[in-house]
Structure 1
Amino acid sequence: MPPRFVVTMKPLPCPSCRQTMTKHRFERMHHGEVTIDLCFPCQGIWFDEFESVQLTPGGIVELFKLIHQHRDDQRLPLRAPLNCPRCDDKLLHGLDVAKHGGRFNYHRCLQKHGRFTTFAQFMIEKGFVRQLSPAEVSELSVKVGIVRCTGCGAPVDIRKDHACGHCRAPIAILDADAVEKALARLQHAETRRTTRDVEALGDAIVMRERAASRQRRQQAETETGLVDVIDLVSAGFELVWQVIRR
């Protein structure tokens, strides 16, 4: 089935400030690369459809490193409404729950061209940022009255609100323990992804050769009465080559 649209390498305008976003390439989950558009003045990321789930664990770590390099950049507040950089339609605000428990928000195109998310919300989605409980927000409000929203950049008076009044993003912090756990989880996933499973490969060779041998034996018995023998070494050559070339 042909794709609904063709992704080009043409520079895209930021959905918020409309400045040209910069393109950065990261490793794709199965093969090739994912090209992602970033706006550092707005600290926002544009993902074409499904790109956010196509990043390898190593690619997520590389993107996190890039975000970290720009952590102290001056940030522009997000405008309303935000517009799709491909069709210019208004983006729809959405909320979701990450695998590791955090709630994050984003803005998606109804034409399924992709979605726009801030650096902070992406880090919540991937488990780098920990959201504060109401008790922790109350405790923090004694020392800090107003914080900047991790979702849209708007000021939030946490003495009155425990979430952003503009985009409803909860209050979150870049927690050292959360970062350590997220990095360890991604590193483990990357190791598993890039390490060849010798036992699984051996099982696959045996099962494949057994099936082929059974078929050859049945044919030989029918024609000549001879019985074939399993050759695991020669049978494994093709499977090993298929694994290595991926």
Structure 2
Amino acid sequence: MTLEGRLGGQVAIDVCAGCQAFWFDHPGKPSLPETLRCPRCATTLRLAHDLQGNMPFTYWRCGTDDGHFISFLEFLKEKNFIHRLSPEQIKELRQNVQFVNCSNCGASINLESNSACPYCHSAISMLDMKQPQRMLEQLKQAAQPRPLDPMLPMKLVSAKLGLETSLADHDRGPEWWSDAASSGLVWAGLNVVARWLSDKLVD
């Protein structure tokens, strides 16, 4: 998949559904084992640690700066779509489900005895359903200095209100609890977004 870059030019993105990860090409670089190697220069990718607010995330970067490789979950963390559950949220979760899958390693977490993954020690996290609304607000603000469409601010406000209402209808419904128990909290949130998009396409 090729998208327009923010600074001009195009950015190629490869998506691997099997390993649930993205590869982002850096602009100006030519297009695309046991050891993770850069598909451009074949050097070993180095594990990098970073922070988005107070949320740590990791990715693998090329030593010659050709690009970086990041899993779906870590990408969502980087873009601030994931947040750790508070003790109150974990308590609410325990009242509805006993087990959830770790969003990081996939292991089963017994909520009766654990408030984090006992295997990889990742915090119990979920998709932040308010982040799409915040992104729409940022897009609205970014459009103000040079709006391409005089109606764009009104359209963004309308989209924000519609998204807030629509996601609220789906969030914490029976399907959400079922998905949370079987697939984990992050995928439950992604399924909410998928159902919302499906409803919009039908409409």
TM-score band, normalised by shorter chain: 0.5 to 0.7
Same amino acid, percent of matched pairs: 27
When normalised by structure 1's length, the TM-score is 0.45
Deviations 1:63-93, CA, capped at 9 Å, x for gaps: xxxxxxxxxxxxxxxx975333234444332
What is the distance in 1 between the residues matched to 2:44 and 2:7?
A: 32
Residue 173 in structure 1 maps to residue 126 in structure 2: yes
What does 1:122-161 correspond to in 2, within 5 Å? Answer: 122-133=75-86, 136-137=89-90, 140=93, 143-150=97-104, 153-157=105-109, 159-160=113-114
The aligned residue for residue 20 of structure 2 is 43
Check conservation: 2:115, 2:124, Cα contact below 8 A: no
What is the distance in 1 between the residues matched to 2:36 and 2:5?
A: 27
Residue 85 in structure 1 maps to residue 85 in structure 2: no
What is the distance in 2 between the residues matched to 1:107 and 1:81?
A: 11
The aligned residue for residue 181 of structure 2 is none
Residue 122 of structure 1, CA deviation: 1.4
How many residue pairs get matched? 141
Residue 121 in structure 1 maps to residue 74 in structure 2: yes
Residue 37 of structure 1, CA deviation: 1.6
What does 1:54-69 correspond to in 2, within 5 Å? Answer: none
Change (3 A) 1:195 1:126: same
Residue 163 of structure 1, CA deviation: 4.9
What is the distance in 2 between the residues matched to 1:192 and 1:118?
A: 34
Check conservation: 2:11, 2:24, Cα contact below 8 A: no
Amino acid across the alignment from 1:182: M
Instruction: Choose which of 32, 40, 43 in structure 1 pairs with 2:9.
Output: 32
When normalised by structure 2's length, the TM-score is 0.53
Gaps of 5+ in 2: 149-203
The aligned residue for residue 237 of structure 1 is none
What does 1:200-219 correspond to in 2, within 5 Å? Answer: none
Check conservation: 1:128, 1:182, Cα contact below 8 A: no
Residue 136 of structure 1, CA deviation: 3.5
Change (3 A) 1:40 1:164: farther
Q: State the secondary structure of the residue aligned to 2:130.
A: helix
Check conservation: 1:83, 1:91, Cα contact below 8 A: yes
Deviations 1:12-64, CA, capped at 9 Å, x for gaps: xxxxxxxxxxxx1222112222111211222211123479xxxxxxxxxxxxx
Residue 95 of structure 1, CA deviation: 2.2
The aligned residue for residue 177 of structure 2 is none
Change (3 A) 1:171 1:31: same
What is the distance in 1 between the residues matched to 2:12 and 2:141?
A: 21
Higher Cα radius of gyration: 1
What is the distance in 2 between the residues matched to 1:132 and 1:50?
A: 37
